[in-house]
Each structure stands twice: as C-alpha cells, then as structure tokens.
Structure 1
Amino acid sequence: MVGNDNESKDDKFQAMPDELIDWLSKPLGRFLHIETAAAGVLLIATLLAMLLANSPWSAQYFAVWQTEFGIALGQVEFRMTLGEWINDAVMTLFFFLVSLELKRELVLGELSHPREAMLSVSAAIGGMLVPAAIYLLLTAGEPAAHGWGMVMATDTAFVIGCLALMGKHIPQQLRIFLLSLAIVDDIGAILVVAIGYGDALNYQALLAALIALIAVRAMTLLGIRNLMLYFMVGTMAWFAVEHSGIHPTVTGVILGLMTPTTKWVNEERLFKIFKHVVTHPHGQDWSGDIQARMALSTAEAAAREALSPVERLEILLHPWVGFAVMPLFAFANAGIPLDGLTVFAPLTGVIVISLAVGKPLGIYLFSWLAIRLHIGLRPKELTWPLLLAGGCLCGIGFTMSLFIAGLAFSPAHIDEAKVGILVASVISAVIGLFLIKLTLVYRGK
C-alpha cells in the first residue's frame, strides 16, 4: 500500500500543477480537440444568420457587412467592407490550414501511400468534374454559367460531423477516405478560385508577392523560427497578391505548402535534453542556478521543436479556424432573405442536381475507374455501398460553395444560389446518412 501511495504521489509530480484557470481551460481544451464540434458551431452560425436575415433587424444585419474600414500609409490607402475583410483576409487562415493538412497528408499521412492516395485523388477529381459538367450543361448560354465552380466543393467540417452522428460503427477507412477526398477537393476549389474568378493581372504586384514568398523561403533555409516574422512577411505577400488580380486567399495555400514538415529536434536529442533536466539534484533552486535555468529553457524549446512546423501550426490554428473563422464566414454569408424566393427557382434546381446527384456520381465513377485501371487501391473495409454513401455526403458544399458563389454571382442571383447550396447540403446529408445506416444494418453493425 505504501508503495502504491508513493507511486501515486510521483504521478502527480509528472503533471503540471493546476491553477484556477485550468478548471475552465481543460474542459475547453477537450472540447476543441473534438473536430466534429466545429460542425455544430457552424450550423448554429448559419441558423442565426438565416434568422437575422428574416427578422425585423434584417436591414441592420446586412448593413453591418457593408461597413468600410482599412489602413492608410501616407498616400496609400487600403479599404474594404467588413464582409470583404472576412471573405478575403480572415478566410486566408482557412485556406492556409487546408494547405497544411494537405502537405501533412502528402508527406506523413494517408496520401503518402501512392495507390491509396490515388483512390482519394481520383474520387476528388470526379467529384469536381462531373458536378461542374452537369451545371454547365444545364446553364449553357446563360449568365449563371459563370457559377460552375461552386458545385465542385465539399465542406469537410459538416461531412466529418455527419459521420460522428453514426457513432463508432463507421469504418475508419471511410473516415480517412472522405477526409483525404475533402482536402484534395478543397485544394481543387482554391485553384478554381485563383484561375476562374480572378481579375486582370497586375505584374508589379505579382513581382512584389514573389519577392515576399522568396523571403519566406530564405527565412526557412536560414533556420528562423519566429512565427511573428513569418506572419509579417506573409501579410505583405497577402497585400501584394490582393493587388495582383489573383484572389488573395491563394496566399494561404502557397504559404501552407511552403511550410516545412521536418523536425528540428529528433526524439533521441529530445530525450537526452529531458534526461539532463530530470537529473537536476533535488532541493536546489531553479531560479538561482543559471545553468539549471538554461537547461529548462533548452527543454522548453526542444519540446516545441520536436514537432514539425506543419504539425505545430495545425495544432495552433485548427481550433481558431473551426470555432471562429468558419462560423464567422457562415454568419456573414449564409443570411438569405426568403421573401419571394422558392426552392423551385431554375438556378436553385440546377445547383441541387449538380451537388446532390453529380457529386456522388462523379466520386463513384472515378473511384471505379481508378480501381479498374489499377492506379488506385480500395481498402477492404471501404465497400462500394459505403463509398457511394460517403459520396452522397460530399454533396454538402456549404463553406467553399458559398465562398465561390459570392465571387461568381451578382446580387440578382446570389440569394437563389445560396438557397440551392443550403437545400443541396441538407438533401446530401439526409441521403448520405440514410445510406450509411442502411449499409451498416445490412452488415450487422
């Protein structure tokens, strides 16, 4: 019993001491690590936007996003509306995180295995091309044809959130497949934004952006690890790209792909540094011993640098993007005045067909082609019925679809487009969840 008591006391000293704030931060930390909770916050923000857009305060709701503000440096003044700051600047963090996730998957994750990766990549390509082709076919010769890019996207948070509703019975391979597919899908949508929805190019601004990106690369090669310096240079690159005619959120993608995946401190060196701290004699004051304080400082830096920059930035940004950036974007963009609108509007119907039908059709068809051509490998747990059901969930476009719709449509069509995106997302979620449940019941789970 005495031995157990001593072990219990030792275990206590292996953890950091508790402070009053820990009673709040620890439950919050656990909450933030549940990725699917972001879908709930996103849904609440969407419903709140819809409620305000159709309330007596609708005029104030829409007016606030048109509020202009900016910065001035001497003769140079840069101003945008609040809605533009959210869509062009704040959303850059979302694109940066997506790019980090893609690079981690390519180097360290599932996409690092070529044949397994090709199944997700092929499915993502089919899930982009087929809906876009259906949309263009149904809107040929009409002004609305310019919105083809909005039916190509998948909302990762809502897809993973839907899977969470099914509990632990979902095969892990389905989660991995859909997550990898959604990441590739998002990158494809970002390229669509850069190529299809930019303005005339300003080559001087592009040169300035290139110089800033070269500076970022040089800082990486020199071993500079101060995140604030990278943020400052990255911000300069963003301003340059914003003036270049390319959508500024592309800056986040480029910077994410430039982020290193290598660790500065390997495990062997980390353990040696920790061992040096652990062997510090008991009873000595850390604050009075310069050498001891240096050992603690070295251990702190080593623990931080034992993770690659990609992993550290993902851990840092994921809660902010999931619980602040995306809900803020939804709150600013999902408000639709429903007076005079109908789900039977032509544009709304085209979007619903393209997302709810075109997405699963493209994903299933291109996955089948990848297997038949022996360029992709389908895990045994990922049955064809499950793959089709997962493809239906990918018709939830939402975040990226709303983003591209805002770039593609004039005020005359934007509300019809938003209704189509929302209706298609609901239909896709219901059908996808129903098919997954049906498949699991058939399999006896």
Structure 2
Amino acid sequence: MIEQDRPGPHAATVGLPKELIDHVRPSFARFLRIEAAGGVVLLLCAVAAVLLSNSDFGQALSAFWDTWLGLRFGDLEAGRSLKAWINDGLMTLFFFLVALELKRELVLGEMRKPRMAALPMAAALGGMAGPAALFLALQWGTPTQRGWGIAMATDTAFVIACLALLGRRVPQSLRVFMLMLAIVDDVGAILVVAIGYSSGIDWHMLTLAALSVVLMRFMARVGIRQFSPYVLSGCALWLAIDASGLHATIAGVILGLMTPARRWVSDTRLYGILRQVVAHPAGRAGSGNTRDRKTLLIAELAARESLSPVERLQMALHPWVSFCVMPLFALANAGLQLSWEHARQPVAVAVFLGFVVGKPAGIVLFSWLALRAGLASRAPELGWRMLVGGGFLAGIGFTMALLIADLGLNGQVLDSAKMGIFLASLCSAGLGLALLLWASRPAGRAPG
C-alpha cells in the first residue's frame, strides 16, 4: 500500500521540510531545459535534412531511408523501411514520454487541480478543432482532404525553445499552460492517427493487446516493481497493436498513462531505513550474507523507490528522446524539394492557414468558453494578451504534422504539405514571439 508523503519526526533534523511543489519543481525545470535544448537540435536536424535533400546527395539519402530492415524466413518476412522503423518504433518512445509528462502533471504537478487543468485541456481541444475545421472547409471534396489532421498538433520542443528565448519576460504560468496544451495536443493527435489513419482493424490482435494491458495491471497489483517484465509486456502490446492495423505509437500513450505517478517509499520510511544502515556495524570482508549487507540492499531499493516510476522513466528517457529519437525523425522526414510552386498549392495554403489562423482562433475561443462556463480558472498573471501570444506559438507544428502528412498524403502533394508546415511554423513563431514581447512590456506610469 502506498504511504502518504508526510515528514516524520526525525525529518526536520536532516533537512528542511518539503512541500509537494518542492518535489515537482526540479523535475519540471529539468524537463523545460532538456526540451529547449532538444528544440535547438531538432531545428538544426530539420535544416540539415532540407539542405541535403536539395543537394546532390538527395536521391542517395532518400534511398537510404527507404532501406528495408527486417527478418525473412523463406516466403515469410517481417520488417519495414528504416524510415518506417523510426516513425512507428522509435516514435513510440516519444509518445511514451509525452504520456508520462501528462500523467505527472495531472497527478503531481500544478495541473492536479481540475479547474486549473481544464483551461489548457479546453485550449488544446480548440487548437485541434479549429485547424481541422478550417482545413476541411478549404479542401473538402478534394483528394487532399485526407490530410485534415496535419495542422492539429503543436510541437512541444519548438514551443518550449521559443519560450526559453523570452526568459523571465513571460510568467511561469504561461510555460505550464503551453506545456500542458502541447502535451494534450500530441496525445490527441496520436489518437487521431490511431482512429482516422488506420484501416483494416484486426480485432483478434486488439484482443491480444487488451490482454497485455490486463497482464500489466495484474503485475502492478501483485507488487512486481522490476521494469523488465513490463518491458516485455510493453513490447507484446506494441506488436499486437501494430498487427491490428492501428498505428503502433498508440502503445506509447497507453503505457505512459498506465505508469504509476506515486512513489512506493515515503520520506519517513526511507530515513528510517537509512538510520538502520548507519546503526549496523560493518560485516566481515567478502561476506555477502551479513546483516549490514542485507540492510544496504534494502536501502538501495528504498532509495530507488523513493522516486515514482514516472519520474525515474522520465529522467532516463528524456535525453535519449530529445537528442536521439527526435533528431533522427527530423532527418528522415523533414526533407523536401524547395519550390515556390509547392507553396502555392491549395494543400499548402490550407495547412498554413490551419496553423496560423485556425490554431490560435480555436485556442482563444475554447479558453474563453471554458472560463465563461466556470469550468476552468486561470492564473492572474495569465492575461488574454499572453493567451493570444501563446495561441500563435502553438501554431508551430513539426513532429506530428510531418508524421500525419506522411500517413495521409504522398508524392508532390506531400512536399506541398511539408512546405506549408515549414512556412506556418516560421510565421507562427515570429507572430507568437512578437505578441508575447508586446504583452510582457511593463505598463506605463499613470500621469500625476
């Protein structure tokens, strides 16, 4: 049974007492720092992919990403292209990390209060509905209407990197709001991929996926805390979902939301175990069965379990996802032939307007409706000018936009959609930064 984290009678003699926010703030700050640095690396890789695809190495690079990788047994084969392994396999880790951060914010972070969480959630829903409706209005009845989900998702890394450029000019509440909005956006986008861009559902495989989820819940209930059984079950879940016809990355969202956000060992119990380590005398050299040896092993386990599984997995995976998975995704997917002819195509215009117009309009409208209905509340320093600026920043779409474009479109139309994504992201970043700089100006002194 999970204990409540209340400082024990001896905790004050070891250090200052900690409130819940003191445990959460370092994790949040670390997440923002890595995300901002990852945004810079992601931008460099995207620029490199565009430059390489327009150089003499363009065809060779495209052939490299199309290299088949898998296993063959006679007439049977299982595999896919290198690009598909990145999009379907490695991106599962990205969505796993996104779901972990969503779970942590909802359970431990500032969004644990329902009315505080309602505002970014409502804004995210508006930020998905607005661009999709505008895109469909412009592309209805054409073959490219299948790309309706392209302009729905916000790129978390680029948004956090832009906010980092503003430094202390913007309040912390805006950073929390934008992070939560982007995370909910990403989760919503992968649900759109799973539902709107899947075909030929195999219900037998979905049943196996459900059994994998039940197995993991059973292991958690009986107290299995080693990661290896969950890794094996997670791989089985990924394989079942992939074989079912749904996009395999939905497995990352499921696993992330299932991960416990509460720690197993409280501060009181941890300090008690550590006092036992100090109290025991050292055993004989080379002996592995002494009392102090056993106490040390218990202390090692207690120290590890004083952090929740969500926090431990975040700290372990976040650098790898930000500096390996996302740059590889950019290199494999961001390449296109630069041409103003692509930018003039209707699908590029629809994507551009979806991000630059539909995204901020949907965010502001749904935020106003949630506040007006009394379903949400906002921090005093998070004014409407800040929300509008944040709405434009949310129009920076890259990761999920490229993924959905690759699923829904192909050929020259795909290059046009990519051009729309790039132009919209540049325009949204410029407008969002300019508006937030204007909104953060100190108010002028009143006359007299």
- The reply to whether TM is greater than 0.5 is yes
1:406 matched residue in structure 2: 406
* Deviation at residue 237 of structure 1 after TM alignment: 1.2
* Deviation at residue 442 of structure 1 after TM alignment: 4.4
Call closer, same or farther: CA 1:264–1:31 in 2, change over 3 Å: closer
* Deviation at residue 114 of structure 1 after TM alignment: 1.1
- Give the conservation status (yes or no) of the 8 Å contact 2:32–2:160: no
- Give the conservation status (yes or no) of the 8 Å contact 1:394–1:428: yes
Call closer, same or farther: CA 1:440–1:287 in 2, change over 3 Å: farther
1:200 matched residue in structure 2: 200
* Deviation at residue 440 of structure 1 after TM alignment: 1.3
1:159 matched residue in structure 2: 159
Please say if 1:118 is aligned against 2:89.
no
1:99 matched residue in structure 2: 99
Aligned mates of 1:76, 1:220 — CA distance in 2: 36
Aligned mates of 1:97, 1:31 — CA distance in 2: 11
* Deviation at residue 268 of structure 1 after TM alignment: 0.9
* Deviation at residue 175 of structure 1 after TM alignment: 0.4
- Give the conservation status (yes or no) of the 8 Å contact 2:342–2:415: no
SS of the residue 2:307 aligns to: coil
* Deviation at residue 76 of structure 1 after TM alignment: 5.2
Q: Which moved more, 1:227-236 or 1:143-152?
A: 227-236
- Give the conservation status (yes or no) of the 8 Å contact 2:132–2:149: yes
1:65 matched residue in structure 2: 65
Q: Which moved more, 1:416-425 or 1:291-300?
A: 291-300
SS of the residue 1:243 aligns to: helix
2:229 matched residue in structure 1: 229
SS of the residue 2:440 aligns to: helix
Aligned mates of 1:286, 1:272 — CA distance in 2: 25
Aligned mates of 1:378, 1:432 — CA distance in 2: 20
Aligned mates of 2:339, 2:183 — CA distance in 1: 36
SS of the residue 2:200 aligns to: coil
SS of the residue 1:166 aligns to: helix
Aligned mates of 2:273, 2:439 — CA distance in 1: 51
Code of the residue aligned with 2:107 in structure 1: it is V
1:18 matched residue in structure 2: none
RMSD across aligned positions (CA): 2.1
Q: Which moved more, 1:312-321 or 1:425-434?
A: 312-321
Aligned mates of 1:287, 1:427 — CA distance in 2: 66
* Deviation at residue 108 of structure 1 after TM alignment: 1.5
2:178 matched residue in structure 1: 178
- Give the conservation status (yes or no) of the 8 Å contact 1:31–1:37: no
- Give the conservation status (yes or no) of the 8 Å contact 1:359–1:392: yes
Aligned mates of 2:31, 2:122 — CA distance in 1: 34
Give identity over the alignment, percent: 50
Aligned mates of 2:430, 2:96 — CA distance in 1: 30
2:3 matched residue in structure 1: none
Aligned mates of 2:254, 2:169 — CA distance in 1: 37
Code of the residue aligned with 1:104 in structure 2: it is R
* Deviation at residue 44 of structure 1 after TM alignment: 1.0
Please say if 1:188 is aligned against 2:188.
yes
* Residues 393-414 of structure 1: per-residue CA shift (max 9 Å, x gap): 0000111111111111022311
* Deviation at residue 73 of structure 1 after TM alignment: 7.0
Aligned mates of 2:33, 2:222 — CA distance in 1: 33
1:319 matched residue in structure 2: 319
Code of the residue aligned with 1:59 in structure 2: it is Q
- Give the conservation status (yes or no) of the 8 Å contact 1:286–1:293: no
TM norm structure 1: 0.89
Aligned mates of 1:73, 1:267 — CA distance in 2: 54
Aligned mates of 1:181, 1:366 — CA distance in 2: 12
Counting matched residue pairs gives 416
TM norm structure 2: 0.89
Equivalent residues in 2 for 1:38-437 (5 A)?
A: 38-71=38-71, 77-281=77-281, 288=287, 290-339=290-339, 341-437=341-437
- Give the conservation status (yes or no) of the 8 Å contact 1:110–1:116: yes
- Give the conservation status (yes or no) of the 8 Å contact 2:283–2:291: no
Aligned mates of 2:394, 2:168 — CA distance in 1: 20
Call closer, same or farther: CA 1:238–1:163 in 2, change over 3 Å: same
- Give the conservation status (yes or no) of the 8 Å contact 1:33–1:319: no
* Deviation at residue 195 of structure 1 after TM alignment: 0.8
- Give the conservation status (yes or no) of the 8 Å contact 1:90–1:325: yes
Call closer, same or farther: CA 1:346–1:33 in 2, change over 3 Å: closer
Aligned mates of 1:65, 1:156 — CA distance in 2: 25
Aligned mates of 1:223, 1:70 — CA distance in 2: 36
* Deviation at residue 43 of structure 1 after TM alignment: 0.6
SS of the residue 2:105 aligns to: helix
* Deviation at residue 210 of structure 1 after TM alignment: 1.7
Q: Which moved more, 1:263-272 or 1:84-93?
A: 263-272
- Give the conservation status (yes or no) of the 8 Å contact 2:151–2:351: yes
* Residues 241-288 of structure 1: per-residue CA shift (max 9 Å, x gap): 11101111111111111111222211111111112223345x877755
- Give the conservation status (yes or no) of the 8 Å contact 1:345–1:416: yes
Code of the residue aligned with 1:232 in structure 2: it is L
- Give the conservation status (yes or no) of the 8 Å contact 1:119–1:370: yes
* Residues 326-367 of structure 1: per-residue CA shift (max 9 Å, x gap): 111111000112257442222111111110111111111111
Code of the residue aligned with 1:296 in structure 2: it is L
Aligned mates of 1:33, 1:392 — CA distance in 2: 22
SS of the residue 2:70 aligns to: strand
Code of the residue aligned with 2:306 in structure 1: it is A
- Give the conservation status (yes or no) of the 8 Å contact 1:286–1:292: no
Q: Which moved more, 1:66-75 or 1:354-363?
A: 66-75
Unaligned runs of 5+ in 1: 1-13, 15-29
- Give the conservation status (yes or no) of the 8 Å contact 1:287–1:293: no
Q: Which moved more, 1:50-59 or 1:332-341?
A: 332-341
Aligned mates of 2:243, 2:175 — CA distance in 1: 39
* Residues 39-89 of structure 1: per-residue CA shift (max 9 Å, x gap): 011011101111110111111110011100113579853110001100001
Aligned mates of 1:426, 1:156 — CA distance in 2: 15
* Deviation at residue 228 of structure 1 after TM alignment: 2.0
* Deviation at residue 377 of structure 1 after TM alignment: 0.6
Code of the residue aligned with 2:216 in structure 1: it is V
